[in-house]
Amino acid sequence: GAGVSQSPRYKVAKRGQDVALRCDPISGHVSLFWYQQALGQGPEFLTYFQNEAQLDKSGLPSDRFFAERPEGSVSTLKIQRTQQEDSAVYLCASSDTTLRGSSPLHFGNGTRLTVT
């Protein structure tokens, strides 16, 4: 079956523009995560959904970042008024079980955001 799909693969935005990044998880996966990965670093947690409920948004760096998953499937990460420090790869991952830390994450290839 298809893996986690993210679009676009690359996005260039001028400082101050709004962007929307899409994630299509593996069908049937209940849990969905967003991560931010700076160059040469490990992924940093942003937010977590279980179905349509956003259970943890403690990693969102500012109120310019907003994520939603209205029907419990596709998710969108929106960044308003982009800043240069938002430049990074944004990773989406899904997992097939809830409330169990032993389930591995299935990652998409990410969206590379460059803010100029």
Partner 1 sequence: GNSVTQMEGPVTLSEEAFLTINCTYTATGYPSLFWYVQYPGEGLQLLLKATKADDKGSNKGFEATYRKETTSFHLEKGSVQVSDSAVYFCALTSNTGGFKTIFGAGTRLFVKA
Residues that bind partner 1 (CB under 8 A): 3-4, 31, 33, 35, 40-45, 48, 55-56, 58-59, 91, 93, 99-102, 104-110
Residues with Cβ within 8 Å of residue 41, at least 6 apart in sequence? none
3 versus 16: smaller Cβ distance to partner 1? 3
Compute the least distance from the CB of residue 77 to partner 1, in Å. Answer: 15
22 versus 80: smaller Cβ distance to partner 1? 22
The alpha carbon dihedral of 106, 18, 46, 83 has a sign of positive
Compute the least distance from the CB of residue 49 to partner 1, in Å. Answer: 11
- The two beta strands, 31-37 and 44-50, are antiparallel
SS3 76: strand
Contact 101, 1 (CB under 8 A): no
Compute the least distance from the CB of residue 63 to partner 1, in Å. Answer: 20
